[in-house]
Amino acid sequence: MSAEGVDLAKTNHREWILVMSMGLFKHEKVLYFGNWESVAEDFGGCHRSNTQYNAFEFSFRGPTVQWIGSKASNHGVADVYIDGEFQQTVDNYSPELLTNVVKFEKTGLSDDRIHTLRVVVKKDRHPDATDCYQDVTSLQSITPVSYPAEIASAMTTEYAQIQNGTKPYLPPEAWAPVAYAANFPESGVELRPGVFLTLLNRNVDYLNHCFASPTFCDGLGWSSWLPASNHGRMLAGAANTLRWGERADMRRIVDTLIASIKNQMRDDGYYNYYPEDDSYTQTAGLNSERKNYDRVFWTRGLLAAAMVGNPDAHGLLRRMYDWFNASPYLPNMLLGGNATNGLPGGPLMVLSPAGKDSDLVVTERYYDQDYWMHELANREPLCLSHYPDERPHCYDLLGIEAFADEYRATGAQKYIDAVEGAWDIYRENYKHVGGATAICEADGPYPPKSYYITTGHTGELCGSVFWVNVNSRLLQLYPTEEKYAAEIEEALYNVVMAAQDSRGYIRYHARLHGNKQETGCQNTCCEVSGSGLIARLPEYVYSIAPDGLYVNLFAPSVIKWEQGGSAVKLTTTTDFPFSTGVSMEVSTATARRMNLRVRVPSWATGPMVIKVNDADFASGTPGSYVSLDRVWSEGDTIRFTLPIGFTTVKYTGLDQVEGNHDRYALLYGPVLMALQGDPGGPLGVARVAVAPDSLPDLLVPMEGSPLEFEVAGHPGYKYVPYWTIGAEPFTCFPIVEP
């Protein structure tokens, strides 16, 4: 649409957004993050803020950009970034007022992409400055861009191609599949007593409790609205549990539900939970979620059932996807609630024994979003916070999961470029310290690095589940990249474990300040995703490679696998994270050469020495895997001590305490700690009076309570692992300053 030379684009939220063309970009068009105030009189009109980590962003094309504003005695310093790369720190103090100053200028940028200028307010300032204000009078570039309108316009263009059938795609004959370099085990892992086994057993209790109810939850919950995912939840939880050992109760759940699905399925293969005109025809509203969300979680459940030998699961999946792939609804599948839920379905199918090429062709033609993949590959954080289709939130990670599987199926570079770019974007901009997701479906928007901790919708469990899914694929593609194992570990300890109560019930959000949310048994999305993930826990501990094994996580466990046609067993003994010692024993009937690779965590405080048969054998640096490549015999042992310690991490989000008091999280290795006690500090935020680097020096271990610490000089304060918090008030981000 265009009128009077002004270009407009319509988003899927049915908003008209101005698309700027040439010239000066005034402050009302800049994206402001935080509590900036508009000042009409001073300095000729500007936006300004003196709250640390408030920021503004400006998008543009062309080689040059200028930030224009004032310098004054109450101004401080700011950090400036271009396209996510730090440029410089700018000091805007001046003893006299200076207006219309070019505070920052960048030249020589490329013409092949949209660029983003980001300026971050810091509380640092010149010794003579009276405050730390930053302001914006205007910004100058050759071609300013309204990023929300730009990405919405690109989406509209591509969706038109999808709907009229002209979107190009890679045909099956051009696919070049990519194999995993190391695979998570599908079976053969036994967890021994420890925190992971407790999590797994509670999940079994939850599943049995659900199965005793006619709705598979307490009351109606979401069972009638999203019935296919209700079956998917139960199947994924029960079947994935069966991968690690036969149980009559879990087998009964799987066989009963598969029989029910088989009985209700229509002759044409439609799964028949609801009429098509109340699901697949819908392009808006609650029931529009059925065609994507419900179908894909149903798919995950049946794939798990097939993995543990149910004879009907693959056939039922094939019948449903043959119906789906030929349905008339495909051109509108991206229109409706949580449409990104639909992306993983086809890739999951094509990579399964029941898959056909048509499963992925449908995804390429009707789900792939090349405009978005381009922005992800460019590592533009705004393409998540301003994702234009339906709601931008953590469910966008399902697109990243799908792209990883599409890369495996096709070998097309665009998919892995998008995945790796998205990984950087999410990790650096949309993940809390400790791993919880910082972009959710309500109480938004959630701009880059906003890290809100007081909104009720922070830390949705689904986001961490999907993040584990993404990292699990990357770790199997690139098994020596320790960073992917670290992300899985962090999410498991600080979000997944924190989401479960003693009954196995699951909470929706991981709130990091105040009180935890109540758990539930309602077939919520977080139960649907979370229960299946918990049942898969044993698969993350090890990866099997053609030449040996990777040890990814430190959990008491046993793995049995075949190496070169012979059976091998590795037994791991540890009480991590309550203690730091780890020992392993190899069992093999025949001596054989194997490469056992042990992860040295990125959180390790120094090199990790590994002993084989009680003699020093190797040493590894943090953030790597140590290779133990030798001939292994029956009874050989591996021993090491994890170099663990405390780390303080400054809170840099937008929930700043008035007065710019500094908040810090405390971690013990990968474990996020929470402070309990009277929140008697400024504005009700607990305060520990110490320099951040000295906080660990105040921690006094509590006898008989591993990983619990009193805080010296602060009666009533104690730090405990966040996952152990129940109903007690707490904060993961107290004020920490002398």
Higher pLDDT, 30 or 545: 545
Distance CA 492, CA 196 (A): 9
Beta strands in 606-679 (DSSP E): 608-612, 615-620, 624-632, 637-641, 646-650, 664-668, 671-676
pLDDT at 146 over 50: yes
- Whether the upstream peptide bond of residue 577 has omega within 30° of 0, thus cis, is yes
Mean pLDDT, range 527-547, rounded to an integer: 99
3-state class of 315 per DSSP? helix
Residue 563 vs residues 16, 182, 374, 547, 569: alpha-carbon distances, Å: 60, 13, 41, 7, 10
The fraction of the chain above a pLDDT of 70, given in percent, is 95
Distance CA 512, CA 509 (A): 9
Task: Lowest mean pLDDT of 185-189, 404-408, 592-596, 682-686, name the range.
Answer: 682-686
Distance CA 170, CA 175 (A): 7
Mean pLDDT, range 468-485, rounded to an integer: 99
Distance CA 625, CA 621 (A): 8
pLDDT at 41 over 60: no
In CATH terms, are 21-145 and 168-540 the same topology?
no
pLDDT digits (tens, 9 = 90+) for 337-353: 989 999 999 999 999 99
Beta strands in 193-331 (DSSP E): none
Mean pLDDT, range 33-50, rounded to an integer: 81
Distance CA 592, CA 631 (A): 5
Provide the pLDDT for residue 549.
99
Query: Do residues 543 and 552 lie in contact, with contact meaning Cβ atoms separated by under 8 Å?
Result: yes
Mean pLDDT, range 400-416, rounded to an integer: 99
Provide the pLDDT for residue 456.
80
Provide the pLDDT for residue 22.
29
pLDDT at 23 over 80: no
Provide the pLDDT for residue 21.
29
pLDDT at 401 over 80: yes
pLDDT at 5 over 70: no
Mean pLDDT, range 655-669, rounded to an integer: 96
What does CATH list as the number for 21-145? 2.60.120.260
DSSP 680: -
Provide the pLDDT for residue 6.
32
pLDDT digits (tens, 9 = 90+) for 188-202: 999 999 999 999 999
pLDDT at 26 over 60: no
Amino acid, res. 590: T
Query: What topology is assigned to 168-540 in CATH?
Result: Glycosyltransferase (1.50.10)
Q: Which of 158, 153, 154, 172 is nearest to 334 (CA)?
A: 158
Distance CA 636, CA 632 (A): 7
pLDDT at 91 over 80: yes
pLDDT digits (tens, 9 = 90+) for 563-587: 989 999 999 999 999 999 999 999 9
Q: Domain coordinates of the chain in residue numbers?
A: 21-145, 168-540, 545-641, 646-736
Which residues are 616's β-sheet partners? Answer: 611
Residue 316, φ and ψ in degrees, nearest 5: -65, -40
Provide the pLDDT for residue 40.
72
pLDDT at 74 over 90: yes
Distance CA 248, CA 704 (A): 38
Please state the length of the chain: 738
Query: Do residues 293 and 338 lie in contact, with contact meaning Cβ atoms separated by under 8 Å?
Result: yes
Query: Do residues 129 and 73 lie in contact, with contact meaning Cβ atoms separated by under 8 Å?
Result: yes
Judged on CB neighbours under 10 Å (0-12, 13-18, 19+), 622 is: middle
Across 386-422, b (16+ Cβ under 10 Å) vs e yields: bbbbbbbbbbbbbbbbbbbbbbbbbebebbbbbbbbb
Q: What is the mean pLDDT of the chain?
A: 94
Q: Which two tokens mark 258?
A: 């598969």
pLDDT at 38 over 90: no
The fraction of the chain above a pLDDT of 90, given in percent, is 90
Mean pLDDT, range 668-695, rounded to an integer: 93
309: left (phi over 0), alpha (psi -120 to 50) or beta: left
HSE toward the beta carbon, residue 479, CA cutoff 13 A: 27
Residue 257 vs residues 31, 240, 261, 270, 292: alpha-carbon distances, Å: 50, 14, 6, 16, 20
pLDDT at 101 over 50: yes
Provide the pLDDT for residue 20.
29
Judged on CB neighbours under 10 Å (0-12, 13-18, 19+), 263 is: exposed
pLDDT at 417 over 90: yes
pLDDT at 11 over 70: no
Query: Do residues 196 and 537 lie in contact, with contact meaning Cβ atoms separated by under 8 Å?
Result: yes
Task: Lowest mean pLDDT of 23-27, 35-39, 142-146, 155-159, name the range.
Answer: 23-27
Provide the pLDDT for residue 280.
98
3-state class of 146 per DSSP? coil
Element (H, E) at 6: strand 6-10
pLDDT digits (tens, 9 = 90+) for 317-337: 999 999 999 999 999 999 999
Query: Do residues 480 and 597 lie in contact, with contact meaning Cβ atoms separated by under 8 Å?
Result: yes
Residue 513 vs residues 290, 456, 674, 680: alpha-carbon distances, Å: 34, 10, 9, 14
Angle among Cα 630, 632, 633 to the nearest 5 degrees reads: 155
Scanning the structure block, which residue is given the tokens 């966040």? Answer: 722
Q: Report the predicted TM-score, pTM, of the whole model to 2 decimal places.
A: 0.95
Judged on CB neighbours under 10 Å (0-12, 13-18, 19+), 62 is: middle
pLDDT digits (tens, 9 = 90+) for 219-260: 999 999 999 999 999 999 999 999 999 999 999 999 999 999
Provide the pLDDT for residue 44.
59
Query: Do residues 688 and 711 lie in contact, with contact meaning Cβ atoms separated by under 8 Å?
Result: yes
pLDDT digits (tens, 9 = 90+) for 433-476: 999 999 998 888 899 999 999 888 899 999 999 999 999 999 99
pLDDT at 10 over 60: no
